[in-house]
Amino acid sequence: MGRTSRKRSTLANRAIVASAALILGGGGLAGLNVYASAGEASSDRPDSGQSQNTWQQMSTIDCPDVGNQLPDIPDDSRQEVDTQLAAIDSQITEAYKRFADSRDQISQDPELAQTSILGPLKDERLDSIDRIANAIGQNAERPEGLDSLAPCTLRADDNQSAPPSPSASATATGAGPASPSPSSTDNGQVSQGNGPEAADFVSIRSVRPNVSNPRRARSGSAGRFTTNCGRNQNGKFNPDNVIVAPGVSNGAHHMHDYVGNQATDAFASDQKLADGQTSCRNQGDKSTYYWPVLRLQNGQNEKDVNTPGGGQDKNTGIIQTPAQVTLNWVGSPVAKVVAMPRFLRIITGDAKAFTNGDANANASWSCTGFENRQLKDKYPICPRGSKVVRTFKFQSCWDGQNTDSANHRTHVAFADRNGACQNDFKAIPQLVQRIVYAVPPGPGFAVDSFPEQLHKPVTDHGDFINVFSDQLMKKVVGCINGGRSCT
């Protein structure tokens, strides 16, 4: 089985992946020219000084995403599979910590990369992958070839040779190598030590308007339902992910903001969510809404600096409470919507898009007053008086049967460019989530991420579990299909 069934997109193809990696396989280990473009042969061989510099520029660990490669998982196998997938994430996190702590030694002795980082990581992944295959095999045909997903590589950050510039192209991705220790940005704010870098930011004024919407047909549903669930003023945070890693503490390895259901953590069952309290003004909405926190890098520590999901997972800085959170449910431009099933789970975006590629990335970054200009792989530098905006448009098509799927994606889908659902999927109310922050102008903020994802903006993502009452969901559908605005 190959690395992934999804093609790595142009975003990742621009990355210096093949040429910047430690190639692990057949017992061989090779440091390649970090300055050669991916897929481009280089006739120049680096001398010893250049080779050492190449190793110093390795920034992160790149592993195949095992979850994306799994077949349909039987219900009776899912708990063990989810547990092992969470273990694989923890293995990468621990390997990244060892790598970050030993980068200087690796630059002097590259063989340490295999003996102390990649080799042990491969063995750990093989064990978890075998457990996953066995768990599936107990209730269905055992998948073969998954062990090919065990090897990982070290890779450099994208655009290594590009000088950091706030006016960098909005379509280029990535930044310079992550520093092993905190470093100051141009405005004096302090980076996290493993990203972001100055080149991850771009002036919103340099971005051309790029937002377009499908034309609305008479058969469409033009209404809107707004639910007000606050801004997480009460500070509900945890690094769990009940959708991807149920029953696993710190399954996300980064901290989440929560609004809506106050019972949400890694161990929340559907019944626990149904019985939980909600921060939503309309008490019929006990849904769970969560996303990675945004932090300010100003040299100050948050109270989670020594805890999992916080400083232990390379997420440091002061957590920012949003200035505004808007949760709107909108319709389809070409069809009426049907009710979402209770406990439907939706993830939009990809927390591992920096290493996975942007096939599932859905980040939208902008500034107030400029929201016809959206960024996918850069953080915006907003003018004074303008605020940073994160927007998540969730999938609006449902397969009509399942509330979740093995990869937590295939039971829902995005509409096509004309706004229509494909493959007999049904249009459902679309969650449009807008989060606004009042942060100082310029670089100096970032979303939490898995450590090896280097706090890249392209890794931004949002999660939702539908816990609307049946009565309120009926109202939502009626408002949207009737062209009304409701709360």
Give pLDDT, residue 54.
53
Cβ-based neighbour number of residue 37 at 10 Å = 14
Question: How is 74-133 classified by DSSP, letter by letter?
Answer: PHHHHHHHHHHHHHHHHHHHHHHHHHHHTHHHHHH-THHIIIIIIHHHHHHHHHHHHHHH
Residue 91 identity: Q
- H or E segment to which residue 485 belongs: strand 485-486
Q: Per-residue confidence of the chain (487 residues) as pLDDT tens digits?
A: 333 333 334 343 333 233 233 323 333 222 222 222 223 333 333 344 444 455 557 889 999 999 989 988 999 999 999 999 999 999 999 999 999 999 889 888 989 999 999 999 999 999 999 999 999 999 999 999 999 999 999 988 765 433 333 333 333 333 332 333 344 444 444 445 688 999 999 999 999 999 999 999 999 999 999 999 999 999 999 999 999 999 999 999 999 999 999 999 999 999 999 999 999 999 999 999 999 999 998 889 999 999 999 999 999 999 999 999 999 999 999 999 999 999 999 999 999 999 999 999 999 999 999 999 999 999 999 999 999 999 999 999 999 999 999 899 999 999 999 999 999 999 999 999 999 999 998 899 999 999 999 999 999 999 999 999 999 999 999 999 999 999 9
Give pLDDT, residue 58.
81
- State pTM to two decimals: 0.83
Counting DSSP H helices and E strands in the chain, the numbers are 9, 23
Three-state SS sequence of 174-197: CCCCCCCCCCECCCCCECCCCCCC
> Is 131:85 a contact under the CB 8 Å cutoff?
no
Lookup: tokens for 317: 């800085």
The DSSP bridge partners found for residue 345 are: 465
Q: How far apart are alpha carbons 210 and 98 in whole angstroms?
A: 41
- Residue appearing with tokens 């600096």: 305
Cβ-based neighbour number of residue 208 at 10 Å = 7
Q: How far apart are alpha carbons 391 and 412 in whole angstroms?
A: 19
Q: How many residues belong to the chain?
A: 487
Q: How far apart are alpha carbons 398 and 410 in whole angstroms?
A: 9
Q: How far apart are alpha carbons 165 and 199 in whole angstroms?
A: 6
Q: How far apart are alpha carbons 293 and 449 in whole angstroms?
A: 9
Give one word for 369, left, alpha or beta, with left for phi > 0 and alpha for psi -120 to 50: left
Residue 155 identity: R
Give one word for 485, left, alpha or beta, with left for phi > 0 and alpha for psi -120 to 50: beta
Cβ-based neighbour number of residue 305 at 10 Å = 13
Cβ-based neighbour number of residue 5 at 10 Å = 9
> Is 481:293 a contact under the CB 8 Å cutoff?
no
Own/partner contacts of 5-12, CB < 8 Å, gap of 24 or more, are 5/68, 5/69, 6/68, 6/357, 6/359, 6/360, 7/357, 7/359, 8/356, 8/357, 8/359, 9/357, 9/358, 9/359, 11/173, 11/357, 11/358, 11/361, 11/376, 11/377, 11/458, 12/356, 12/357, 12/358
Q: How far apart are alpha carbons 256 and 236 in whole angstroms?
A: 8
Q: How far apart are alpha carbons 217 and 58 in whole angstroms?
A: 51
Burial class, 15, CB count within 10 angstroms (exposed 0-12 / middle 13-18 / buried 19+): buried
Greatest CA separation for the chain: 70
Q: How far apart are alpha carbons 291 and 289 in whole angstroms?
A: 7
CA 32 to chain centre: 28
Give one word for 152, left, alpha or beta, with left for phi > 0 and alpha for psi -120 to 50: beta
Burial profile 310-338: b = 16 or more Cβ within 10 angstroms, e = fewer: bbbbbbbbbbbbbeebbbebbbbbbbebe
Q: Which CA distances in Å does 52 have to 49, 104, 214? A: 5, 10, 51
